[in-house]
Structure 1
């Protein structure tokens, strides 16, 4: 029986080549999109699950509000891990990570450094908590001694070639010499942090034991059977027992008084496997993704697949007139409905299998391009993995049964006497289901068009909004600390170049980086309710003009005023939090040690206009600028037209003063744009799949329009003989479809408005969604539908009526 079904199915599909192509190609596009998005979603959901104890590992986050700043951080105090292990038997182990950013690294005895990213200090328990297999060395002893380091296989290859690195030494930043005690496998890409270098935590020059400083990523491993929610209640005890005494010593207040003043101090745990998609903390060790995007892309995959299935159902039911007599004859000859359903379902599944084969070819071709857009490293091999095999086999079967179910039952239900007498009416007006399916297709298309437009408008708003500083043509030199005491000399030499307008040596630049807030007090009022938690940046005289900032009140630092070493410039947010009506001349106190015993007073000499130094998702925090030396960054404002030539000249100056040091640089505009690469990727992915969804919908509409034109061939011929114009015939054939598209627009508009406003809630600075976005999206959908339908309408309208009537 099955063999007979397959033979008939193959003959039918070959006979109706146009119908088969549209259906198979539409399904293939839908399946290819679904496979790509499934690969993306599976990769996103797999983060950190390769660790054998992942279900028992939790990171401790800090939630602190103090001095006008609301800080939700992925870090916690350095004593947190050891204290929890000591005081609570529910904790099996802990490990702390201290992310130190990019460092210069070279093999001992070699003159040239390499710039290595994401250097991390880690406790010796690293390999007990995380699953990071070593290919050389002993994991139990690898990081137990100071000045030791474990490196990845790729780092070993870069620095030691084919030699065994264990026992050899590396020099970090020309200062810290470490012995290689282990080589680990390269960390998987689906990890929320990645590095090629783990240095022993005991090598970190850090002031340990500070409960009020949050600088370490602390992970705890709970014992089997411990309820994390129950255990998290112990943080309040930890705060009262350990944080409280230091708070009294530091700001002269108890934890209860601290909270009564409107402040907040809490610690909580997040599961390791939730960090990548669910953590929205500041100071993450690396940028995370968002579960929201997983939901969005999953929904897009489902919608596209549904659109493809709807095409199949629409075309199959629409073409049913051509199969009606076949059904009638079969029933007269004794076929039962079950056999007819089997025949039509076999045809459907066969087309789905063909579509899956074509989809795999499409996915193989486009995976490299999709990786570029999504910043992933997906491979077609993943599709054929044992875990993915059920999807590969089950998807065409499910799609074939789903897409073919209604046509099969619909066709098999025809009454033979009605069919053979020609009483079967399959016009568009009676096809309510087909109309509903067309509405659904274009509703989804309109939602995707609106989503794409809003995402790109928000990204454009971010890129064009006034930031409070001028990021254009600002060159930042990386690893400026390698110059040591020659940083100012290097700046002065570069300033002599004709293409350089100004330059500055400073501690920080207005782009996201690892930094923390510290309290400032009105002079003589060292009280917690008087403190303002603020960013404290060390800058030089030329910092504000180099970055194009605006002084709203008072003045900038000046070489003409020798007392500016005890001066401070505040931003508008800091002035507002302090409550100063006239801030110029006010005196502030700054703690110069961790115990708060040494204070230094500063005079406010100016107020700088607020500038964004974090993502536009966040409100502008308070900043205080101090005229103090810090060689963390060197920046130059360029004014020449030939930027590459100026950069080459700057590099030549660098080579003279820092031989053996890599010359690396970036532009401030690129660093700022990097914050929004996730949104840019989302926009590109949504745009791509929106185009594909619309293309698939148009394929179905094209086939449906061709069928309706064929059904009304005699009517068109009669109308033309009676004098109907080509335009009126095109309008006659198009209006029914355009009505459905207009209904889809009306339904899609409120859904799209709600969804995009929810997405924009993540941004503190955002666009309003204007009405014309929906109008443009609707107009685009109408034009696409009209062009698709009118192609067949024009073809039918231009047909010679004599041929149409003779064919009838």
Structure 2
């Protein structure tokens, strides 16, 4: 029986090649989009789940509010992990990652390579995390000082192989480390990616300070422990360990003192498997994703699939009149309704299986392109994973009935007598469901179009907004590995180039992932909870403000003419607001450097607020003090021959050191790198929006075909009575336009709510303008009119004699 159904189904598909082609293409595109987004979502939710104890591992987050400065950090103090393990039996193990020192120079033969995927870790690192070993025993590999564990990639990079690396010495920043173990490369779906793991014993740090937060700390809780309840213990930890250190240089004696002054010191645990999608902390080890985008793209995937299924329903019912006599004859011959339903479901499933096969081919062909767009590294093997393979096998047998259930029951309900008499009476109002489907298609499409326009508006705003410094035509050159004398000499020589307007040592630059240093200042000589506040504390030279294109709005810059500038400080407008000074120039700020010692700074200038983090965050308080930060040099230049300018600088650097690789970047590129996620989201949204609109247009074409067929005789009569082609096109299109307008009215408030919610992630954001919605409405109407024009004009110009000759 099934074989017979499939044979008849195949013959019908071959017979109606045009409709079959449109159906298949629409479904193929819909299923392809659905699979690609499913791969994206599956990859996003898989982060850090490969560790054996993934469900027991938690990271300690810090949330601090002091003097109006709010900090949300993915780091905590260095003794926090050990303290929790010592005091609370629920804690099985802890480990720390110290990555605050940034990149390091590693020697390979005569070459020095700047390595960024490097950090110090505790010897317990492999007791917490699961990374398979290729050589050596990672659990004991980092117990001694001057030891290092390499990834497979790093072993090949520095020693040309795994076997040749083990036991060898690796020179890192002029210190030799023994390679004691080799591990597999860390999976891409990890929230950190390190290739060189150095022993924590080599860190030069003032350990034991509960108030200095620089370590990513992870703990393993015993099975069954509730991490939310465990969070309550942090209040006790603060009272027992943090407060004694705070009270040494302030009048704060209790947690109540902190809270009564409007300040906050809190710690909390976040599950390891939640970090990638749910963490909103600063100082992450890599760029995280967002659960919001997972939800959005999951909804988009489902909507695109439903739009494709809707197309199938519309196109199938559009051909209903061609199948009406077939149904009538089969019913007269005794075919049951159940058999007809199964017959039509077989046809829909066959089309879906065919479309599904084509969609798999589309996925294979587009996966590399999709990876480039989304920033992923999803391989074809992901399709062959057991869970995803089951999903792929079941998909056509879910989509098939979903797409075919309405057409099957619709066609099977034809009354044989009415059909064979030439009247197609289906009973009831069938327009309601079809109208709903068109409204659903275009409501979704309009929301996607508005969303895409708003995303690109915000990205343009990010690129063009005044961020308080001039990011254009600034070259940043890495000085790692050079002596201070060489750095100064190179800077002086290159400053003489005619292309160079100014040059500055710029270890601190106003983009995320650059060097950061925050500390506590007080407006009074006696430290209290009321006069203290945290702010960024950057070292800058005399040319820094000019080179970065910042603006002094009060006072003066650092000057070699003033010998007292070693204790001078320049603050931004935000810091001025926190001090409460009406006229800050000449006022004093106090920085505690020990139990009793203080440095007294004199404010000599105020710099206009500039965004030193992304535009997702408000500008925080910041200070500049005279000092050396020469590990990078910034050159503000003015030339059209950028390549030639870089070549001249490269020659200068290579002349003083043939071992070092010349590494540079542009400040504007570094700035835009902060918004890679938004750029990728915008590109993905644009692509899937276009595809959704194309699929929706196919559905509208199907419905136009159906209506034109239903009204063939009406059109013929109107033409005989003198109706023009324009009037007939207007009559046929009018109802569709009403549906599009109705869809627009539904979509607009939803789109406004969704995009307002998305924009709230940015402290600096655009306003939602009415013209965005108006433009979307015009675009949608134009798409609908163009789609309708082909079929309505074709029906309007048809010879009325052909449609009326049977009457």
Residue 9 of structure 2: aligned partner: 9
Q: Equivalents in 2 of 1:573, 1:434: separation in Å? A: 58
Residue 751 of structure 1: aligned partner: 750
Residue 469 of structure 1: aligned partner: 469
Change (3 A) 1:46 1:101: farther
**Is 191-200 or 694-703 further displaced after alignment?**
694-703
Please report how far the alpha carbon of residue 716 of structure 1 lies from its aligned counterpart in structure 2 after TM superposition: 2.8
Structure 2 gaps, min length 5: none
Q: Equivalents in 2 of 1:37, 1:355: separation in Å? A: 17
Q: In angstroms, what is the RMSD of aligned CA positions?
A: 1.7
8 A Cα contact 2:413 2:426, kept in partner = no
Please report how far the alpha carbon of residue 325 of structure 1 lies from its aligned counterpart in structure 2 after TM superposition: 1.7
Residue 76 of structure 1: aligned partner: 76
Q: How does the TM-score come out when normalised to structure 2?
A: 0.97
8 A Cα contact 2:507 2:515, kept in partner = no
**Is 242-251 or 343-352 further displaced after alignment?**
242-251
Q: Equivalents in 2 of 1:548, 1:561: separation in Å? A: 22
Change (3 A) 1:430 1:389: closer
Please report how far the alpha carbon of residue 529 of structure 1 lies from its aligned counterpart in structure 2 after TM superposition: 1.8
Residue 344 of structure 2: aligned partner: 344
Write the deviation string for residues 775-806 of structure 1: whole angstroms up to 9, x where unpaired.
11111111001000001122222334444445
Q: Provide the secondary structure at the position in 2 that maps to 1:663.
A: coil
Residue 229 of structure 1: aligned partner: 228
Residue 218 of structure 2: aligned partner: 219
8 A Cα contact 1:490 1:653, kept in partner = yes
Change (3 A) 1:427 1:152: same
Residue 324 of structure 1: aligned partner: 324
8 A Cα contact 1:57 1:219, kept in partner = yes
Residue 586 of structure 1: aligned partner: 587
| 2:549 is aligned with 1:548 | yes
Write the deviation string for residues 123-159 of structure 1: whole angstroms up to 9, x where unpaired.
0011111001110111221100111110111111111
Residue 644 of structure 1: aligned partner: 643
Write the deviation string for residues 479-524 of structure 1: whole angstroms up to 9, x where unpaired.
4463433222111111111111100013411111352410112252
Residue 558 of structure 1: aligned partner: 559
Change (3 A) 1:362 1:272: same
Q: Provide the secondary structure at the position in 2 that maps to 1:796.
A: helix
Residue 699 of structure 2: aligned partner: 700
Residue 578 of structure 2: aligned partner: 577
Please report how far the alpha carbon of residue 712 of structure 1 lies from its aligned counterpart in structure 2 after TM superposition: 2.8
Residue 113 of structure 1: aligned partner: 112
Q: Provide the secondary structure at the position in 1 that maps to 2:111.
A: coil
8 A Cα contact 2:539 2:628, kept in partner = yes
Residue 454 of structure 2: aligned partner: 454
Residue 685 of structure 1: aligned partner: 684
Please report how far the alpha carbon of residue 176 of structure 1 lies from its aligned counterpart in structure 2 after TM superposition: 2.4
Q: Provide the secondary structure at the position in 2 that maps to 1:482.
A: coil
8 A Cα contact 2:704 2:791, kept in partner = yes
Please report how far the alpha carbon of residue 170 of structure 1 lies from its aligned counterpart in structure 2 after TM superposition: 1.3
Change (3 A) 1:725 1:140: same
Please report how far the alpha carbon of residue 67 of structure 1 lies from its aligned counterpart in structure 2 after TM superposition: 2.2
8 A Cα contact 2:520 2:533, kept in partner = yes
Q: Equivalents in 2 of 1:205, 1:636: separation in Å? A: 31
8 A Cα contact 1:481 1:487, kept in partner = no
Q: Provide the secondary structure at the position in 2 that maps to 1:469.
A: coil
Q: Equivalents in 2 of 1:330, 1:130: separation in Å? A: 66
Q: Equivalents in 1 of 2:193, 2:595: separation in Å? A: 36
**Is 730-739 or 574-583 further displaced after alignment?**
730-739
Residue 608 of structure 2: aligned partner: 609
Q: Equivalents in 2 of 1:438, 1:584: separation in Å? A: 66
Write the deviation string for residues 696-718 of structure 1: whole angstroms up to 9, x where unpaired.
11112112222322333333333
1:373-412 mapped onto 2 (5 Å cutoff): 373-412=373-412
Residue 280 of structure 2: aligned partner: 280
Structure 1 gaps, min length 5: none
Q: Equivalents in 2 of 1:102, 1:520: separation in Å? A: 26
Write the deviation string for residues 431-480 of structure 1: whole angstroms up to 9, x where unpaired.
11101100110000000000000101011111100011000000011244
Q: Stretches of 4+ moved more than 6 A in 1?
A: 426-429
Please report how far the alpha carbon of residue 658 of structure 1 lies from its aligned counterpart in structure 2 after TM superposition: 3.1
**Is 371-380 or 794-803 further displaced after alignment?**
794-803
Q: Provide the secondary structure at the position in 1 that maps to 2:550.
A: coil
Paired residues, number: 804
Q: Equivalents in 2 of 1:178, 1:731: separation in Å? A: 81
**Is 630-639 or 670-679 further displaced after alignment?**
630-639
Residue 143 of structure 2: aligned partner: 144
Residue 63 of structure 1: aligned partner: 63
8 A Cα contact 1:251 1:528, kept in partner = yes
Q: Equivalents in 2 of 1:165, 1:105: separation in Å? A: 18
8 A Cα contact 2:313 2:404, kept in partner = yes
Residue 24 of structure 1: aligned partner: 24
Q: Equivalents in 2 of 1:309, 1:703: separation in Å? A: 12
Q: Equivalents in 1 of 2:596, 2:134: separation in Å? A: 49
Write the deviation string for residues 567-602 of structure 1: whole angstroms up to 9, x where unpaired.
1111000000000101111011223x3x34331112
Q: Provide the secondary structure at the position in 2 that maps to 1:113.
A: strand
8 A Cα contact 1:94 1:221, kept in partner = yes
Q: Equivalents in 1 of 2:619, 2:646: separation in Å? A: 32
Write the deviation string for residues 26-80 of structure 1: whole angstroms up to 9, x where unpaired.
1111100000000000000000000010000000101111122111111111001
Change (3 A) 1:458 1:783: same
Change (3 A) 1:107 1:551: closer
**Is 74-83 or 16-25 further displaced after alignment?**
16-25
Q: Equivalents in 2 of 1:802, 1:422: separation in Å? A: 18
Residue 238 of structure 1: aligned partner: 237
| 2:200 is aligned with 1:201 | yes
Q: Equivalents in 1 of 2:214, 2:275: separation in Å? A: 18
Q: Provide the secondary structure at the position in 2 that maps to 1:529.
A: coil
1:524-543 mapped onto 2 (5 Å cutoff): 524-543=525-544
Q: Equivalents in 1 of 2:428, 2:647: separation in Å? A: 69
1:409-488 mapped onto 2 (5 Å cutoff): 409-425=409-425, 430-480=430-480, 482-488=482-488
Q: Provide the secondary structure at the position in 2 that maps to 1:249.
A: coil
Q: Equivalents in 2 of 1:335, 1:185: separation in Å? A: 64
Q: Equivalents in 2 of 1:584, 1:311: separation in Å? A: 69
Q: Equivalents in 1 of 2:528, 2:479: separation in Å? A: 38
8 A Cα contact 2:481 2:660, kept in partner = no
Residue 356 of structure 1: aligned partner: 356
1:500-519 mapped onto 2 (5 Å cutoff): 500-512=500-512, 513-519=514-520
Residue 794 of structure 2: aligned partner: 795
1:289-308 mapped onto 2 (5 Å cutoff): 289-308=289-308
Q: Equivalents in 2 of 1:52, 1:683: separation in Å? A: 36
**Is 513-522 or 261-270 further displaced after alignment?**
513-522
Q: Provide the secondary structure at the position in 2 that maps to 1:691.
A: helix
8 A Cα contact 1:95 1:220, kept in partner = yes
Residue 311 of structure 1: aligned partner: 311
Q: Provide the secondary structure at the position in 2 that maps to 1:51.
A: coil
**Is 297-306 or 219-228 further displaced after alignment?**
219-228
Please report how far the alpha carbon of residue 406 of structure 1 lies from its aligned counterpart in structure 2 after TM superposition: 1.3
Write the deviation string for residues 732-785 of structure 1: whole angstroms up to 9, x where unpaired.
221111111111001100010011001111111111101111111111111001
1:144-163 mapped onto 2 (5 Å cutoff): 144-162=143-161
Write the deviation string for residues 267-321 of structure 1: whole angstroms up to 9, x where unpaired.
1000000000000001111110000000000000000000011111122223222
Residue 335 of structure 1: aligned partner: 335
8 A Cα contact 2:576 2:584, kept in partner = yes
Q: Provide the secondary structure at the position in 1 that maps to 2:150.
A: strand
Residue 632 of structure 1: aligned partner: 631
Please report how far the alpha carbon of residue 102 of structure 1 lies from its aligned counterpart in structure 2 after TM superposition: 4.4
8 A Cα contact 1:105 1:170, kept in partner = no
**Is 517-526 or 348-357 further displaced after alignment?**
517-526
Q: Equivalents in 2 of 1:417, 1:211: separation in Å? A: 88
Q: Equivalents in 2 of 1:430, 1:625: separation in Å? A: 72
8 A Cα contact 2:503 2:636, kept in partner = yes
8 A Cα contact 1:508 1:632, kept in partner = no
8 A Cα contact 1:443 1:748, kept in partner = yes
Q: Provide the secondary structure at the position in 1 that maps to 2:117.
A: coil
Q: Equivalents in 1 of 2:575, 2:481: separation in Å? A: 29
8 A Cα contact 1:22 1:703, kept in partner = no
8 A Cα contact 1:101 1:118, kept in partner = no
Change (3 A) 1:807 1:584: farther
Please report how far the alpha carbon of residue 361 of structure 1 lies from its aligned counterpart in structure 2 after TM superposition: 0.9
Q: Equivalents in 2 of 1:580, 1:804: separation in Å? A: 87
